[in-house]
Amino acid sequence: MNKRLLAVFAHPDDESFGPAGTLAYYAKMNVEVHLLCATRGEAGKNSKLKIENSKYKEEKNIGEIREKELLESAKILGIRKVEFLDFIDGELCNNIYNQIAEKIIKKIKSFSPQVILTVERRGVSGHLDHIAVSMITTYSYLKTKIANKLYYHCLPKELRNKFRDDYFVYFPEGYSRDEITTRVDYSCCWEQKVKSMMAHRSQIGDVKNLLSRFQKLPKVDHFILQYQRGIKTRLPEKDLFAGITH
């Protein structure tokens, strides 16, 4: 069986700050992993470079920089193909939802993944672009009737306070143990996750902050199996492809 996994995120670095370990694990298991990124992170700031007077240098082409960083990160993780949907960071609003869905649906039809992975409906961190991508990916999964499973990457309640900060207006609560259906141990791919995060050099402030927290935690990614069809699987599970035989 040719296993295929499609990950859908809003920004460059969502993959590495999120389920990078899981993506690397499945790539290592010869799963064909593709990634759709809705934007190029144009609204981000470049915290990498310090100029001689010790002030941070702002790059006008931050979107181009972050695009290259994502491609480098994907290579480290073993992701075979990255596609940008060409929408603008911070502008994934209602009036373009159908345009975004159209592109995701087209990809699902051409790639035929058994598993689709995105962020949970509160966006993990509360970022509104994340929430939009979660909703639109869910719609695309239901509309196409091709993939067997749709997973949401999520954060357990007990870890919420280890990651929350004041960057967004509100950091969601996280999920209870009973709500989390799937846990993937990515300890064998921890170094790949670290390297993929470090590839996002323009976001080095966030990278160092998050790495200091990840290093202290079990190397496990948490997911919610939101939808499944055409298969039988027993929960809880440790494999995103559990129950899939074709």
**pTM for this model (two decimals):** 0.93
Identify the band that residue 53 occupies on the pLDDT scale cut at 50, 70 and 90. very low
| Secondary structure (3-state) at 68 | helix
> Of the candidates 14, 126, 118, 132, which has an alpha carbon nearest to the alpha carbon of residue 74?
14
Locate the domains of the chain by residue range.
4-228
Q: Could you identify the residue written with the tokens 């001689």?
A: 52
What percentage of the chain carries pLDDT values higher than 70?
91
Integer Cα distance of 50 and 46 in angstroms = 10
Q: How high is the pLDDT of residue 170? A: 82
What percentage of the chain carries pLDDT values higher than 90?
78
Q: How high is the pLDDT of residue 4? A: 98
Integer Cα distance of 207 and 92 in angstroms = 24
The torsion of the CA quartet 99, 147, 174, 213, rounded to 10 degrees, works out to: -90
HSE-up of residue 3 (Cα within 13 Å, Cβ side): 19
Across residues 107-125, what is the average pLDDT?
Answer: 97
Identify the band that residue 45 occupies on the pLDDT scale cut at 50, 70 and 90. low
Q: Token pair for residue 229? A: 């069809």
Top-confidence residue, 45 or 132: 132
Across residues 208-224, what is the average pLDDT?
Answer: 94
Report which listed range, 42-46, 59-63, 161-165, is most confident. Answer: 59-63
Q: How high is the pLDDT of residue 55? A: 43
Top-confidence residue, 173 or 163: 173
Across residues 117-122, what is the average pLDDT?
Answer: 97
Top-confidence residue, 192 or 166: 192
Whether 54 shows a pLDDT value over 60: the answer reads: no
Q: How high is the pLDDT of residue 165? A: 63
Whether 209 shows a pLDDT value over 80: the answer reads: yes
Q: What is the largest CA-CA distance in the chain?
A: 61
Identify the band that residue 51 occupies on the pLDDT scale cut at 50, 70 and 90. very low
DSSP state of 200: -
Whether 166 shows a pLDDT value over 90: the answer reads: no
Integer Cα distance of 120 and 124 in angstroms = 6
Q: Which amino acid, residue 205?
A: G
CATH level 3 topology of 4-228: Rossmann fold (3.40.50)
Whether 1 shows a pLDDT value over 90: the answer reads: no
- 221 CB burial (10 A radius; 0-12, 13-18, 19+): buried
